[in-house]
Amino acid sequence: MTQKTYIQSYCTIQNNEIVLNGTSVFKTEPTEFADFSKQAYRNFEMQYPKFFKMDALSKLAFLGAELLLSPITSTELENNIALVLANKSSSLDTDVKYQESISDKENYYPSPAVFVYTLPNICLGEISIRHQLKSENSFFIFDVFNTEFMSNYSNILLHSGKAETVLCGWVEFFNDNYKAFLCTISAQENEKYTNETINTLYNK
C-alpha cells in the first residue's frame, strides 16, 4: 500500500492577486503583469535583482515558488525538493518576442538575454538557482491542467524516495494572460488539507 501524501501549502496568482493558502496576501489595481510582478517583488522584499532579468513566465513561477519554498529552504536543514510544473503555452510568449526581434533582416540583433528564456523549463532553473536545489525537475505541456497526471507524478517521486517534497503546479503565461497554481506536497500529515487534492484547490 502506498503512503498517503498531503498538500502542505498552496499559492494561486491571477488577476493581479496572490492568494496563499486561501488568504489574499497581495493585490493591486488592474495593471500589466510586468508592473504587478514588480510590485509583488517589492512588497515581499525578495532581494534578488536577477528577478528583473527574467521573462514573464519565470517571474510568475518564481513569485509562487518564493512564497512556498522560502519557509523551507531558508532553514539550515537539508531538503530534497523536486519541481514538477506544467502549462499550455510553453514559452510561446517569449518565443514570439524573440521572433519579432529577429524578423527584420536590416535590423538583425538577436538578444541573448531574451533567447535564453525561449524554453519553458528555464523557470525551473531559476527556482533551483534561487533555492539551491539540485533535485528532480520536469516541465510538461498540456492543453489544460492535468491534475491527475501531476498528482500521480508527484506521488511517484515521493514514494520512490526521489524527493521529500514536491513543488507541483501550473504556470501559464501568454499575451499578459496568466495563472499560476503551485503547491507543495509531501508525506508529512497535514490536518489542514486532509482531503484536498490539487484538483479541488486549483478549482477553488
Partner 1 sequence: MEALKLELKNKIITTLNLEDIAIEDIADNDPLFGDGLGLDSIDALELIVILDKDYGIKLVDPKEGKVIFQSIESMAAYISANRTK
Binding site for partner 1 (CB under 8 A): 38, 49, 52-53, 109-113, 116
Cα–Cα distance between 162 and 22 in angstroms, integer? 29
CB nearer to partner 1: give 110 or 161.
110
Crossing angle (nearest 10°) for helices 122-131 and 56-73: 30
CB nearer to partner 1: give 95 or 172.
95
Cα–Cα distance between 145 and 181 in angstroms, integer? 10
Crossing angle (nearest 10°) for helices 56-73 and 92-101: 140
Q: How far is the CB of 53 from partner 1 (least distance, A)?
A: 5
Q: How far is the CB of 42 from partner 1 (least distance, A)?
A: 10
CB nearer to partner 1: give 109 or 134.
109
CB nearer to partner 1: give 35 or 189.
35
Q: How far is the CB of 113 from partner 1 (least distance, A)?
A: 5
Q: How far is the CB of 112 from partner 1 (least distance, A)?
A: 4
Cα–Cα distance between 97 and 143 in angstroms, integer? 22
Rounding to the nearest 10 degrees, give the CA dihedral for residues 190, 196, 198, 200.
-160
